[in-house]
Amino acid sequence: MIGTTLGDIRDHIESLASDDGEYTLVCSRYGDRPVPAAELRFPNRATARAAAQAAEQYRAALRRYDPRLPYHDVIVQQNAPRYDGGGPSDRRSSDRSNRVEPDIAGRIERHELVEFCHRTAAAVFETLSEAGYDAVETAVMDRYFDLAESISEPDDLCLCLLEGMAVELDTRLDPTAQRDVLSAAARRLSSPIRSTDGEPVAATLAYLRDRGVLRGSARSSGAIEPDDGVRSVVVELSEYALTPHDGRLPTLPLVVELSRRRSEWLPAPVRVEAIDDGWRIRFAPARETDPIGVVGAPIVADR
């Protein structure tokens, strides 16, 4: 299955990396770091070139199920020392960055959304394959191919991939298995820098907004306390990009990103309430007892 291929290539790329390397991979067109080498450094240019070739193979494997996956012109970049000064050159650079044309900014935002969806889907595919859930993996791909015949907009199609993945996992796996799959998928993704205030929920919401998964307001209340498992966290979202299916709201990207920031605490959506301008989602720790749901939760009316 495709996950096995992705996992093998990812392992090879990671074996080439070094913690103190000076070389990284970037897309010459967009300037972003390509999955699965986004957070990796390499010791020399030759090794980085080998990693770039493997990264292209990785994306070619992804393209087997989604021909619309953006092409990257992956190049090797030697990192320059950081400069923290505030001289004229810095101000000119800042001025240029603040004058991004709206059309260009829109294309970059759409690109970020498509990349996020494929990156998350790839981690879940790899996990399903490694865990032996071939039937679930096939069902996700079949659903995706059916949608691809009727949807031409890449943004909508990549979101449908995550929605379909959530639906199939919700239907075919019990909540405990869902928890295990998403926890493993989160570990496959690069670990983000922990926020200085120790607040993973706010960091997650900001990250998803930057990727276009959230387009409106987002706020949270409550606290994550993994030691006692009592406290829950409530998140209110507007203009959430994923849509409900059969009375359940897909929460897969929220759960994966929250888990990346607190790996010892996998959040499970306990309930989803439809409110005037979006959704109110309450998360609680998914521990040894079966959670109500992980990849999605039933929608109830606002009380």
pLDDT reading at 88 higher than 50:
no
DSSP strand pairing (267-275 vs 296-301) = parallel
Taking alpha carbons only, the member of 17, 18, 35 closest to residue 26 is 35
157 with 212, same domain?
Answer: yes
Rounded to 5 degrees, what are φ and ψ at 228? -105, -20
- Give the Cα separation of 111 and 120 in Å (integer): 14
136 with 257, same domain?
Answer: yes
The count of residues in the chain is 303
141 with 236, same domain?
Answer: yes
What average pLDDT does the segment 78-95 reach? 46
Name the more confident of 169 and 192: 169
3 with 69, same domain?
Answer: yes
Domain encompassing residue 9: 1-81
Residue 146 has a pLDDT of 74
36 with 132, same domain?
Answer: no
The verdict on residue 301 lying in a domain is yes
41 with 152, same domain?
Answer: no
The verdict on residue 88 lying in a domain is no
51 with 117, same domain?
Answer: no
Percentage of residues of the chain with pLDDT beyond 70: 73
The verdict on residue 91 lying in a domain is no
The verdict on residue 138 lying in a domain is yes
The verdict on residue 282 lying in a domain is yes
Residue 234 has a pLDDT of 87
Number of domains in the chain: 2
Residue 287 has a pLDDT of 59
C-beta separation of 257 from 187 below 8 A: no
pLDDT reading at 211 higher than 80:
yes
158 with 213, same domain?
Answer: yes
73 with 128, same domain?
Answer: no
Spatial CB neighbours of 64, under 8 Å, sequence gap ≥ 6:
2
13 with 136, same domain?
Answer: no
pLDDT reading at 174 higher than 50:
yes
- Give the Cα separation of 278 and 6 in Å (integer): 36
Name the more confident of 173 and 289: 173
The CA radius of gyration of the chain, in Å to the nearest whole number, is: 20
Reported as a single tens digit per residue, the pLDDT across 143-159 is 877 776 666 666 677 88
Spatial CB neighbours of 197, under 8 Å, sequence gap ≥ 6:
none
246 with 150, same domain?
Answer: yes
User: Tokens 């920031």 label which residue?
Assistant: 261
The verdict on residue 87 lying in a domain is no
Name the more confident of 287 and 248: 248
Q: What is the largest CA-CA distance in the chain?
A: 61
The verdict on residue 93 lying in a domain is no
71 with 152, same domain?
Answer: no
The verdict on residue 94 lying in a domain is no
Angle, alpha carbons 148-9-200 (nearest 5°): 75
What average pLDDT does the segment 120-129 reach? 89
Last residue of a domain, one of 48, 81, 114: 81
